[in-house]
Amino acid sequence: MERDKHFVLGVYEDEDVLLAAIRKVRDSGIKIMEVYSPFPVHGIDEALGYKRTRLPIAAFLFGLLGTSLALLMQIWMLGFDWPMIIGGKNFASLPPFVPVTFELTVLLSALGMVGTFMVVSDLKPYKKPRLMDIRITDDKHVMAIDLAGNKMSKEDIRKIVGDSGASEVNDKDFE
């Protein structure tokens, strides 16, 4: 079966029921593709067994890049390209470079983090959103299970999801 096409959706009314259901469903060997909820639910990352994000590493590296670029730029400009005496200081004296270096570090770190996040999450302008169920924007939590990612039959999955406390179990197919 093709990936990312055919889903079983469990609809839940309450976040505590949802958390219990996630554990139950995962314990029975089903792989959950994603859970959609209208508001942040505490403890959902642990329940889904998500690994911690590696975004901070990207942030650190982009920050390092910002620091180096800022220092290189200023040392090159004020020390080599157009040396000027300012306040009797050395051409390339470090203390006045600190504010600019700090700002560029923060800027590149932040922009780099946003960029990395968008690339990793496959977010881009004009991307057509794929909505599992319109009610996740209002008051329902939806657990999406990709049929291609599971060996179990559709009926078994529907049964387990239904028994876990879902108020509805729906099918969703994308073209």
Partner 1 sequence: MEDRPVCTNIATELIDTTVVEMKTDNTMTEEKFSFTSGAKRQISITGVVGLVLLVLGIVLSMNSGGHGEEGHGDEEHALTATEQTLEASVTQEEETHAAEEDEHAAATEEHHETATWLKRVYNSLWVNNIYFTGLAIIGLFFIAIQYAAQAGWSVGMLRVSLSMAHWLPIAGILMLVSWFIVKGDVFHWTHHDLYEGPHADDILIGKSALWFWPLEAGGFPLFYILRMVVFFGLWYMFFLWIKREMLAEDLDGNVSHWYKARKYSAIFLVIFAVSSSVAAWDWVMSIDPHWFSTMFGWYIFASWWVNGLAAITLIVVVLKQNGYLSIVNSNHLHDIGKFIFGFSIFWTYIWFSQFLLIYYANIPEETIYFIERIESSQYVWVFYMNLSLNFFLPFLLLMTRDAKRHMSFLKIVCPIVLVGHWFDFYLMVTPGVMKEEGTFGFVEIGMLMIFGAAFLFVTLSNLTKYPLFAKNHPMLQESLHHHI
Binding site for partner 1 (CB under 8 A): 14, 16-17, 42-43, 52, 56, 60, 83, 85, 87-91, 95-96, 98-99
**Residue number with CB closer to partner 1 (105 or 150):** 105
In the complex, minimum distance from the CB of residue 42 to partner 1, in angstroms, rounded to a whole number: 5
Rounded least distance, CB 17 to partner 1, Å: 6
Question: Is 42 or 128 the residue whose CB approaches partner 1 more closely?
Answer: 42
In the bound state with partner 1, the residue whose beta carbon lies nearer, of 71 and 132, is 71
CB of 65 to partner 1, least distance (A): 16
| 49 vs 56 by CB, closer to partner 1 | 56
Cβ 168 to partner 1 shortest distance, Å: 17
Give the Cα-Cα-Cα angle 122, 10, 33 (nearest 5 degrees): 30
Q: Which residue has the tokens 């924007």?
A: 137
